[in-house]
Amino acid sequence: MSIHDTDDRNTTLRIIADKECEIRELEREMATADDDRQAVIDDEIASLEYDIERLSEEI
């Protein structure tokens, strides 16, 4: 594994961690959101989870 590969992997792991943090923030917001906002949050979380899954496959 080259240094470049390691840097790419570390960058991908940081992106995944950021997306996981976004999901936790959205889940906290979900507790006080109205029904319309909850639907939007659900979509945002689903999108982030898809991104995480796709990025995880690259590692």
Least confident window among 5-14, 23-32, 43-52:
5-14
pTM: predicted TM-score of the whole model, two decimal places: 0.86
Amino acid, single-letter form, for residue 16: I
pLDDT at 1: 56
pLDDT at 4: 65
Could you tell me which residue, 45 or 4, shows the higher pLDDT? 45
pLDDT at 59: 83
Contact of 48 with 22, CB cutoff 8 Å: yes
Q: Which of 9, 7, 22 is nearest to 57 (CA)?
A: 9
Cα torsion at 11, 15, 18, 23 (round to 10°)?
-160
Query: For all residues of the chain together, what is the average pLDDT?
Result: 94
Contact of 59 with 9, CB cutoff 8 Å: yes
Spatial CB neighbours of 53, under 8 Å, sequence gap ≥ 6: none
pLDDT at 33: 97
Two tokens, residue 20: 């996981």
Domain that holds residue 13: 3-58
